[in-house]
Amino acid sequence: MSWKIDFNRCLRCGGCVSVCPTAALELRDNVLRDEKLCTLCGVCDKACPVEAIKVHKS
Amino acid sequence: MIDVIIIGAGPAGTACGKKLAEAGYSVKLYEKRAEIGSPKRCGEGLSEASQQFVGKIPERCIAQRMKGARLYAPNGRYLDAILTEGGFILERKVFDKWLAEEAAKAGAAVQANTFVSGLLKDAQGNFAGVRGEFMGNEFEEKARVVVCATGAESPIRYQALGVFSKVTLVDSCIQYEMTNVDMVSDMIHIYLSSVLAPRGYVWVFPKGEKRANVGLGIIPSDKKPGEYMKLFLAEHPEIAKGSIIEVNAGCVPVGGLVKDMVAGGFVLCGEAANHVNPIHGGGIKEAVISGQMAAGVIAECLKKNDISKRALSKYNEVWWRERGDHLKRVEKLRETLEKLSDQDLNDLVDALKPEDIIEFARGAKLSVLAKVLMRKPRLIAVAKHLL
């Protein structure tokens, strides 16, 4: 199980934040993730317009 | 203690702040961005008629005036819809600052580069202020009412009301602002294609002097908007020959209107409440309307010194009556259109009359779409399903 963001790809658009169902993400200068809230559901990976987020469930 | 803190100085927040300040209330508007309006997350199109809500837009905010829309079928055939009132392609970086100036002139205190990280509650459990950070310094500030006008990309709306955008109800978007693009410059260009932009569409919004916003939105999937953009540009050398001078991305809500937008001392408005037109993804007009409606109800509540959830709920009533039911219908229309194949879309554009497009953009009822579909034998089955 892992959650990774590639800040070279990320455009800081906050799309991932808007779809997060547990408010685990926040957009400041970068996207920040609260590990305690994140369920690794993967919707941020799916919504990201630029393939910056990768969630591996296995 | 001040009367109202508004989180987010975009079209919703500034409209709300301006109206409250004009009514004599003390207002602070906190904007996360270091520069209001930048980076933009928007195709920048707005109908001239929207000035009824936004106010008279100064020339400096307008990049290009539009006569209407050119709607392309997947097979390349197109239909021109000329609007009686026309529209604008804005320069959002200038427009949003103008909106903030208008709110400031009315008496609201605007502060950019201010990140709101959380909400304060009072002893009764009502929301009563914010925690934030400005120039590296943390602060807390109390207010009688907090308005969340953050757009969709903030966890504040979730913290207060559990609101987020379902991933199936956003369009994942990419946009290049390009220069040296050869397009008819006084029309917006909309390309329908279930292959190039599943559920969404490709847009080219000219900004004058051969500049244009070239973007597309799709239902989120493993195949990303950038890959679809490559396909689109490969088919359009007149656009692909241009240069990319800015890249924007974002997720636009195309549904998921929020039933309950208030809590004690708290109101949600604009894109934070998913107030976006579910067919074209435009959010400026809806943001301004909901910001003003929120301000109207908040002013009444402050006057009566009752900022309870019950009192603020009048905003739910007013918004759903004036906008929500209408946008819900537009969402139903979008759900129908997204099921059409490219061949269906070719037939649809063939069957459309210019006035139909204008009706759809305004949010026509499903029966109007059914009437259009009935003009094509292949689409009668789809039409019957709607009636």
Are the C-beta atoms of residues B208 and B177 closer than 8 Å to each other? no
Band (B250; pLDDT cuts 50, 70, 90): very high
pLDDT single digits (tens) B100-114: 999 999 999 999 999
pLDDT given for residue B364 in this prediction: 66
Band (B263; pLDDT cuts 50, 70, 90): very high
Chain A residue nearest residue B272, CA to CA: A18
Chain A residue nearest residue B117, CA to CA: A26
From start to end of B107-241, where are the E strands? 109-111, 114-121, 127-134, 137-148, 170-179, 187-191, 202-208, 211-218
Task: List the structure tokens of B357.
Answer: 């497009």
pLDDT single digits (tens) B127-143: 999 999 999 999 999 99
Q: Which of A14, A15, A17 sits opposite B172 (nearest CB)?
A: A15
Of chain B, the percentage scoring pLDDT greater than 70 comes to 98
Q: How far apart are CA B258 and CA B273, in angstroms?
A: 6
pLDDT given for residue B387 in this prediction: 66
Angle at CA of residue B113, ends A29 and B315, nearest 5°? 105
Of chain B, the percentage scoring pLDDT greater than 90 comes to 84
Whether residue A51 and residue B154 make contact (CB cut-off 8 A), yes or no, is no
Band (B306; pLDDT cuts 50, 70, 90): very high
pLDDT single digits (tens) B286-297: 999 999 999 999
Mean pLDDT of A23-38: 95
* Non-local CB neighbours of B246 within 8 Å, separated by 6+ positions: B39, B176, B177
**Mutate: best of B165, B168, B216, partner A, most A CBs <10 A:** B165
Q: What is the pLDDT of chain B when averaged over all its residues?
A: 94
Mean pLDDT of A19-46: 96
pTM over 0.90: yes
How close A49 gets to chain B, by Cα (Å)? 5
pLDDT given for residue B85 in this prediction: 82
Chain A residue nearest residue B133, CA to CA: A28
Q: How far apart are CA B155 and CA A42, in angstroms?
A: 17
Q: Which residues of A touch B253 (CB under 8 A)?
A: 18
Is the pLDDT at B209 greater than 90? The verdict is yes
Count other C-beta atoms under 10 Å from residue B26's C-beta: 16
Mean pLDDT of B335-345: 90
Whether residue B250 and residue A15 make contact (CB cut-off 8 A), yes or no, is yes
Whether residue A20 and residue B158 make contact (CB cut-off 8 A), yes or no, is yes
Mean pLDDT of B310-329: 96
Q: Which residues of A touch B166 (CB under 8 A)?
A: 19, 21
Residues 18-47 of A with CB under 8 A from B: 18-28, 43, 46-47
Is the pLDDT at B368 greater than 90? The verdict is no
Band (B337; pLDDT cuts 50, 70, 90): confident
Is the pLDDT at B184 greater than 80? The verdict is yes
pLDDT single digits (tens) A6-25: 999 999 999 999 999 999 99
Q: How far apart are CA A8 and CA B134, in angstroms?
A: 26
pLDDT given for residue B363 in this prediction: 64
Whether residue B250 and residue A13 make contact (CB cut-off 8 A), yes or no, is yes
Chain B CB within 8 Å of residue A17 CB:
yes
